[in-house]
C-alpha cells in the first residue's frame, strides 16, 4: 500500500481523506500493526486506483503487478483405475 501511495506522491493523509479512514489507521495498516476490514481494503484500493488483490497478494506475484491472471483450461481425465498407473 505504501509503495502505491508514494507512487501517487501522496502522504498518508491523502488516502485517509479519500476513504474516510483515519490517518493513524492508514499508518498502522502500512506498518502491519492493524488489519483492515474488507470494506476498508475496497476503499483504499479504489482511492489508489488499483484492485484489492494488488494490496493483499505478495509483491512480485503476476496479479499483484497488475497482470491479468491466466485462464486455466480443464485437464483431460485419465482413463483406467485412479490408483494404478496407465499401461503402455
Q: What confidence tier does 58 reach under pLDDT thresholds 50, 70, 90?
A: confident
Contact between 1 and 44 (Cβ < 8 Å): yes
- pLDDT tens per residue across span 2-44: 999 999 999 999 999 999 999 999 999 999 999 999 999 999 9
48 in any annotated domain: yes
Residue 7 C-alpha cell reads as 507512487
CA proximity to 27, closest of 15, 39, 9: 15
C-alpha 71/C-alpha 57 separation (Å) is 18
83 in any annotated domain: no
Q: Give the pLDDT of residue 16.
A: 97
- The larger pLDDT score, comparing residue 76 to residue 38, is at 38
Contact between 41 and 52 (Cβ < 8 Å): yes
Q: Give the pLDDT of residue 57.
A: 84
- The larger pLDDT score, comparing residue 80 to residue 67, is at 80
> How many domains is the chain built from?
1
Which residues make Cβ contacts (< 8 Å) with residue 28, sequence separation at least 6? 34
Residue 18 structural domain = 2-56
C-alpha 34/C-alpha 27 separation (Å) is 9
63 in any annotated domain: no
Amino acid at each position: 500500500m505504501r509503495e502505491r501511495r508514494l507512487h501517487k506522491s501522496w502522504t498518508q493523509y491523502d488516502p485517509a481523506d479519500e476513504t474516510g479512514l483515519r490517518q493513524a489507521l492508514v499508518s498502522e495498516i502500512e506498518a502491519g500493526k492493524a488489519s483492515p476490514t474488507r470494506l476498508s481494503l475496497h476503499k483504499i484500493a479504489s482511492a489508489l486506483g488499483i484492485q484489492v488483490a494488488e494490496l493483499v497478494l505478495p509483491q512480485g506475484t503476476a496479479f499483484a503487478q497488475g497482470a491479468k491472471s491466466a485462464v486455466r483450461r480443464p485437464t483431460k481425465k485419465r482413463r483406467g483405475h485412479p490408483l494404478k498407473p496407465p499401461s503402455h
